[in-house]
A and B are shown apart, each in its own frame.
Chain A
Amino acid sequence: QSVLTQPPSVSAAPGQKVTISCSGSSSNIGNSYVSWYQHLPGTAPKLLIYENNKRPSGIPDRFSGSKSGTSATLGITGLQTGDEADYYCATWDSSLSAWVFGGGTKLTVL
Chain B
Amino acid sequence: QVQLMESGGGVVQPGGSLRLSCAASGFTFSSNGMHWVRQAPGKGLEWVAGIWFDGSKSYYVDSVKGRFTISRDNSKNTLYLQMSSLRAEDTAVYHCARGLGVLSDGYWDSWGQGTLVSVSS
Identify the A interface with B (CB < 8 A).
2, 31-33, 35, 37, 39, 41-47, 50-51, 56, 86, 88, 90-92, 94, 96-104
Contacts and interface: CB of A to CB of B under 8 A. Distances in A.
Contact of A45 (B61, B62, B103, B111): B111
Interface residues of B, number: 30
A31 B104 contact: yes
Contact of A94 (B60, B62, B104): B104
Given A44-B113, A50-B100, A96-B62, A104 B107 contact: no
Interface string B63-102: 0000000000000000000000000000001010100110
B24 to A, nearest CB: 13
A98 B109 contact: no
B45 A101 contact: yes
User: What secondary structure prevails in chain B residues at the interface with A?
Assistant: strand
11 contacts: A33-B106, A42-B114, A44-B111, A44-B113, A90-B45, A96-B62, A98-B62, A99-B50, A101-B46, A101-B47, A102-B44
Given A32-B105, A46-B111, A88 B100 contact: no
B108 interface: yes
Contacts of B62: 96, 98
Contacts of B4: 44
Nearest to B46: A101
B61 A88 contact: no
Given A32-B105, A33-B105, A98-B62, A2 B111 contact: no
